[in-house]
Amino acid sequence: MFTWIRIIGAVAVIVFALWGVGVGLWQQSPGLPDDQADCSYRVELMRARLLALMDRSPSRADTGTEADEDFANLLRETHAACGDASPDLLHKLERIDDEHARERERRRQSAAARAELSALEGFPR
C-alpha cells in the first residue's frame, strides 16, 4: 500500500514539473498572442535572463551577441504583449530594458579595452 502511495506521489510530482516546464516554454514562444501572455511571469523571466547575461564570463562577451539579440527580441515582444499591464510591471520592464542597455555598453567597452591591451603585447584576441 505504501509503495502505491509513493508511486502515485512521484507521478504527480513529475506531471506537475512537466506542466510547469511546458507553460514556461509556451510563455517564451515567439508570437504569443497578447491576451495569452502572463506578464508577471514574463517580467520575472526577463529579470532572470538578464542576470544570466550579466553573469557571463568576460571572455565570452564576444559570443554574447546572439544571446543579446534573443534577449532583446523577447524584451520587445514582452513590451508589446504587456503594454496594458500594471504600472508596477511596466516600471520593472523599463528598468530591465535600461539595465540591458547598460550591460551591452559595458561589455562593448570591456571588449574594446581587452583588444587594446592585447594589442600592446602583440597578441591578438
The CA distance from 97 to 58, in Å, is 21
CA distance 8 to 52: 36
Q: How far apart are CA 60 and CA 51, in angstroms?
A: 15
Mind listing the pLDDT tens digit for each residue in 47-95?
A: 998 998 888 766 665 556 788 888 888 888 888 888 888 899 899 999 9
User: CA-CA distance, 58 to 124, in Å (whole number)?
Assistant: 16
Q: What is the pLDDT of residues 83-123, one digit of tens each?
A: 888 899 899 999 999 999 999 898 888 888 888 888 887 65
